[in-house]
Structure 1
Amino acid sequence: MNLDSLIEIVNRKLIESQNRPLNSTEVLILRGIWEYQTYSKIAEEGGYSAGYLTNVVAPELCKRLSNLIGQRVTKKNCRILLESYAVAQPVSVIQAQRHQFKGVSLETSQEYSQSSLPYPSGAVPLDSPIYVERSSIEEQIYTEIRKPGALVRIKAPKEMGKTSLLLRVLDYAKYQGYRTVSLNLEQTDQAILSDLNRFLRWLCANISSQLQLEPKLDEYWDEDIGSKVSCSLYIRNYLLEQIDSPLVLALDEVNHIFEYPQVAKDFLPLLRSWYEDARRLPICQKLRLIIVHSTEIYVPLQLQQSPFNVGLPIQLTSFSLEQVQQLAQQYGINWADGDEAKQLMDIVGGHPALVNIALYYLNRGEVTLPQLLETASTCTGVYFHHLQRHWITLQEQTELAIALATVINSTEPIPLEPIIAYKLSSMGLIKLDNNQATPSCQLYRQYFQSKLFTK
């Protein structure tokens, strides 16, 4: 049993016995014990003094665990006693905890299966049964945000599941006892996004609000030192000092700031500086950043590479055949033999949004799979609005339209000019293998063949 599962069990039993769950400092100590670290090493990585952990937190933690399992727990025997205790728990209890962590209770899942599912648009809610886990990616992010001063970048074209993944990362962070703040730049006024000082004040005010702290911007803002330094001091010397656990700050739809180059060229280096400050300032290690953005913004901005290149990069990709089968099962559709799932993937290539849309209509019985596939690329098909969005972009970017026409009219992979290839790939329209381009899926080939031509 891994440590995360064990912590889930311990927290559930603590709550059942009307005690508080483990806080972030106690979890930090347990992780250190599992890695056979000294208290000094644990303190160094967590930004605490060794004396505080050794003389205050650790004795109280051992006392709480001893009371819970009925045996005396010490640093030396902690691991073996807790593992034995966890293994002895009923299987049903462990399964219920795993459902609770994902934000889905067993009762909620049953309720969903008895009701009509909502149209798949936007992020998948935490309590929805219609979600495909990206286990390797999720575990990678969970591990990263436990590291002091971490920064994670999640990027992909639109409708690939970025925000759905973010919701689950934040849920995991809360379960670890971390404070979380999530800001969506799509909800920010243009007047704010276009002015660096106003934007940074907006950022600090919103973080304060979500942390339920009194905003004290004017006490830290100083025009003589500039808005970037003022913002950094506010977060470091006020916000982080006021909380006793790590803070996971998630910025979604960061692509909107790219539309204001003068602001972006100051804001993105500021995020980089916070990430680098954690290497030298213990207080900054409490801040864990998650940056989420759509790669399609690269197209109108004439960008040749990602504008932000620090931290752990996460690139979301299409679903595998097994994941499509799993999702079909969640929709109540039995595709166990894989034939139908493969037929759908042959057309949409495992694109998360396109797979979900197909399964939604199939679940409702409004169309059969052969009918859906036959009309997929037409104006009466279920994908018309998705295809139309891409077509509008291509009409505004003639060089991309010409390049895509070349790709879809070729029966073999072809090379493209690097910047063109990068942009079409960022839109999700092509796949690249050693700079050789092919259409991402047959749906795009069928639709754009009727729209594009080469002279």
Structure 2
Amino acid sequence: MMSNQNQTRKILLLSANPRGSSQLRLGEEMREIKEGLKRSKHRDQYFIGTAEAVRYRDIHRAILEYEPHIIHFSGHGTGEKGLVFEDESGQVKLVDAVALAGLFQLFADQIECVVLNACFSEYQALGISQHINYVVGMSQEIGDKAAIEFAVGFYDALGADKGYEFAYKLGCSLIRVAGIAENLTPQLMTKIDTKSLNASAEATTIYIERPPIEAKCCEAILQPGALIRLRSPQKMGKTLLLEKVINHAREQGYRTAKLDLKLADINILTDLKTFLQWICVNISDSLELEPQLDQYWQEVFGLNKNCTRYFQKYLLAVTETPLVLAIDNFERLFAYPEIFPQFCLLLRGWYEAAKQGDKIGNIWKKLRLVVVHSTEAYPSLDINHSPFNVGLAIELPEFNLQQVELLAKQYELADKLGQQDLSELMGLVGGHPDLIQQAVAYLKNPQATIEELLQLAPTEQGIFSDHLRQQLWHLQHNSQLELGYKKVVIANAPVRLDTEIAFKLHSLGLVKLSGNDCIPSYELYRQYFTVRLE
């Protein structure tokens, strides 16, 4: 029950439908919510505030003004990339899960529930649910009618003094009653469930070695002036391998500093000076050194020169001990042309400086670089200025059957999963490390069966649905890729595609190359996308 006679429940309705995006029936949705609450027997307990056509800067302003207990957002979502708003110039602005989670954390003592009635918004809902008790997000695309039916059911229940979980169930039920096959799309996440999920994920992430890449990396990191590049599609185990390399360096007594570019605020990535100084301060903190920007950063020099001076005269000069600088999620810079080419030029310059036979060269030999990036994006650089064509390149392979068997053994599932079961699983998802890990972790549940997993895998009920929807998003935002991949999945033989299209599909992990031709990487992809790309 929700009753609190001494407190009015404040609901804030936010909507955003930026120019250039498909038009949604947001006005109708907000009208239905208001009318339903007006008709409810507890209508006097609710106050509704609205903010329409919100820009990203309007979110916190509306929360500060209305001090809501419940926030309902209606608009567009794009999956992991974020919810869609406008910026001050009227351009589309994506706000991702990390940013929204940080914002809602500030109001966690006030806000009880957040509803994100937008396509593919479960990514943002999961982030927000780390701090807010009840959050609803959509696991896939949701139609206008289904979105409105859910909203009607949800707020009718609140108006009848029901709790958030009941309201969620009634909203899903109304979608089904309306004859719309989208009742499984809304997902309720609670703060308690999210904490348990995070703890479980941390406890069950097991690294399986794929020789000889580990030995190559550990050997290379000991070489003066080393540069190691770890690349593969997402969720192949790059970050786990990076941690293994860093730990090996620490065991040798090396100093280490890791930068995860996913953690950089957007304002840091729009200005080269801010970005380079952010790097200098972060590495100083990692090494437990006091930042000395005032001493080593001189306006008379250019930005790359100043950053180089900071490393050369301070971070590398304080000791003879080598320094390993690891940069994870480097692909995030690809979208920032003000920074990306200049920073790549800087890294390439440091790598080349270590080859010098003079005093300066000896200083830079102490720096060992590890750059980690996904292959979904495609940077374009002058080969003479790029760090992506020098050093040791490592592309992570899939698991083989022996490695999958070892993983099952680590999960104590050797008795439940025989070689035939594992072969059938690999027949569906190959040796994709993350998909295999998800499957084995799922089968740890005594009630879960390999038969059910295989049957539901290519559907929205399957455990791989998040991964499949993300790949679908990539295709739907590039019509040439979508058309090319449709040819691949419906064919019974390898398909010859345009070279660039084949390269991009391969970089996404969607195809394997057979000579110059393409085949689906996994049977899972063939089954799922044959239906989705009709």
Q: Secondary structure at the match of 1:288?
A: strand
Which of these residues, 285, 296, 319, is aligned with residue 209 of structure 1? 285
Q: Which amino acid aligns with 2:315?
A: L
Q: 1:242 is paired with a residue of what secondary structure?
A: coil
Q: Which has the higher helix share?
A: 1
Measured against aligned partners, the alpha-carbon deviations of 1:187-221 in whole angstroms (never above 9, x if no partner) come to: 00111111111111000111111111111112121
> Which of 399, 408, 414 does residue 319 from structure 1 map onto?
399
For residues 302 and 400 of structure 1, the distance between their equivalents in structure 2, rounded to whole angstroms, comes to 19
Alignment of 1:251-400 (within 5 A): 251-280=327-356, 281-298=361-378, 308-334=388-414, 338-400=419-481
Q: 1:303 to 1:178 in 2, by over 3 A?
A: closer
Give, in angstroms, the shift of residue 175 of structure 1: 0.5
Q: Is the Cα–Cα contact under 8 Å of residues 401 and 452 in structure 1 kept in the other structure? A: yes
* Letter matched to residue 333 of structure 1: L
Moved over 3 A (4+): 118-122, 301-307
Determine the C-alpha separation between the residues in 1 that align with 2:347 and 2:204: 33
Q: Which residue of 2 aligns with 1:131?
A: 207
Within-5 A mapping of 1:55-454: 130-280=206-356, 281-298=361-378, 308-334=388-414, 338-453=419-534
The aligned counterpart of 1:45 is none
Retained in 2: the 8 A contact 1:120–1:360? no
Secondary structure of 1:241's aligned partner: coil
Give the distance between the partners of 2:510 and 2:532, measured in 1 at CA: 14
Which amino acid in 2 is paired with 1:382? I
Change (3 A) 1:148 1:304: closer
Q: CA RMSD in A?
A: 2.2
Query: For 1:371, what is the secondary structure of its paired residue?
Result: helix
For the residues of structure 2 that align with 1:194 and 1:221, how far apart are their CA atoms? 20
Is the 2:488–2:518 contact (alpha carbons within 8 Å) kept by the matching residues of 1? yes
Q: Which runs of 5+ in 2 are unaligned?
A: 1-195
Change (3 A) 1:237 1:302: closer
Counterpart-to-counterpart distance in 1, 2:298 and 2:382: 36
TM-score (normalised: structure 2): 0.60
5+ long unaligned stretches in structure 1: 1-117
Structure in which a larger fraction of residues adopt strand: 2
Going from structure 1 to structure 2, the CA distance change for 1:139 and 1:176 (only over 3 Å counts) comes to same
Write the deviation string for residues 285-326 of structure 1: whole angstroms up to 9, x where unpaired: 00000000111122xx68999982221111012111111111
Cα distance in 2 between the residues matched to 1:239 and 1:307: 21
Look up the SS of the partner of 1:251 in the other structure: strand
Shift of 1:364: 1.2
State the number of aligned residues: 332
Q: Aligned partners of 1:188 and 1:434: how far apart in 2?
A: 40
Higher relative contact order structure (alpha carbons within 8 Å, sequence separation ≥ 6): 1
Code of the aligned partner of 1:413: P
How many percent of aligned residue pairs carry the same amino acid?
44
Contact between 2:484 and 2:501, CA under 8 Å: does it hold in 1? yes
Q: Is the 8 A contact 2:262 2:332 kept in 1?
A: yes
Instruction: Give the CA deviation at 1:366.
Output: 3.4
Over 3 Å counting, the alpha-carbon distance change for 1:257 and 1:129 in structure 2 is closer
Asked if the contact 2:345–2:387 (Cα under 8 Å) also holds between the matched residues in 1, the reply is no
Report if the CA contact (8 A) 1:119-1:357 is conserved: no
Q: Which residue identity does 1:181 align to in structure 2?
A: A
- Per-residue CA deviation, residues 81-116 of structure 1 (Å, 9 max, x unaligned), is xxxxxxxxxxxxxxxxxxxxxxxxxxxxxxxxxxxx
8 A Cα contact 1:347 1:441, kept in partner: yes
Deviation at 1:129, TM superposition (A): 7.5
